[in-house]
């Protein structure tokens, strides 16, 4: 079995490697806009499915894993910031509050077997001063991350508590992905 990761995310690649899951990378190019009226979970799952299906068309004999992560605070979906000012806006929204990180994952197999699921982790972020927010935004670290922070990076100092899967907050719920892969392989062997 060849697993193809439909993402160029170095964090997702590192998580798969650390878990001992062999993969190849073929990034998908899809519009990550939120649709009108779409819930955060539906958005994350739809985008994961679109990424997996786009790469699956090019790799029909392989298993393809698509993923998309969104952050939700007070019902508002936060994707990746467009610039440093947008990162500062997002961090102000998250500071001193609890939010959810939702990652949709889709596994597309040979014969177009499709399994789409998602993981939700609750994250508490401490209060952050305006100076800390500005310095962090200017560091560049938030720029390609949903919610404008990296729990595995500098922002870890502001995260006193999470409830759920840590790897999900990094960008890929590894335990869920492993279960999906095992179920997918099992269905192929019947």
Name the one residue in this structure whose structure tokens are 């279960």: 179
Among 29, 62, 68, 165, which one carries the catalytic annotation? 68
**Start-end of H helices in 95-165:** 130-139
165 among known catalytic residues: no
Task: Evaluate the CA torsion angle 132, 166, 174, 177 in order and state its sign.
Answer: negative
- Least Cα distance to 50 among 31, 36, 75, 23 occurs for 31
d(CA 102, CA 111) in angstroms, rounded, equals 28
The answer to whether 102 and 120 are in contact (CB under 8 A) is yes
Q: What length is written for the chain?
A: 190
DSSP for 15-44, please give it: HHHHTT---EE-------PPPTT--HHHHH
Helix (H) / strand (E) element for 121: namely strand 114-124
- Token duo for residue 183: 């179920």
d(CA 67, CA 90) in angstroms, rounded, equals 22
Residues recognised as catalytic: 68
């Amino acid at each position: 079995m060849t697993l193809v990761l439909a993402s160029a995310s170095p964090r997702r690649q590192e998580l798969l490697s650390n878990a001992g899951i062999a993969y190849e990378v073929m990034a998908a190019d899809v519009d990550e806009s939120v649709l009108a009226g779409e819930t955060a979970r539906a958005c994350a799952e739809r985008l994961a499915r679109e990424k997996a299906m786009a790469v699956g068309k090019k790799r029909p004999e392989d298993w393809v894993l698509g993923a998309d992560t969104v952050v939700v605070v007070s019902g508002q979906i936060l994707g990746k910031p467009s610039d440093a000012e947008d990162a500062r806006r997002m961090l102000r929204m998250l500071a001193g509050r609890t939010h959810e990180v939702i990652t949709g994952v889709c596994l597309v197999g040979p014969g177009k077997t499709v399994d789409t699921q998602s993981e939700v982790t609750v994250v508490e972020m401490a209060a952050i001063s305006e100076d800390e927010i500005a310095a962090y935004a200017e560091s560049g670290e938030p720029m390609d991350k949903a919610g404008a922070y990296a729990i595995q990076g500098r922002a870890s100092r502001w995260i006193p508590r999470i409830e759920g899967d840590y790897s999900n907050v990094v960008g890929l719920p590894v335990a869920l992905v492993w279960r999906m892969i095992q179920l997918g392989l099992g269905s192929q062997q019947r």
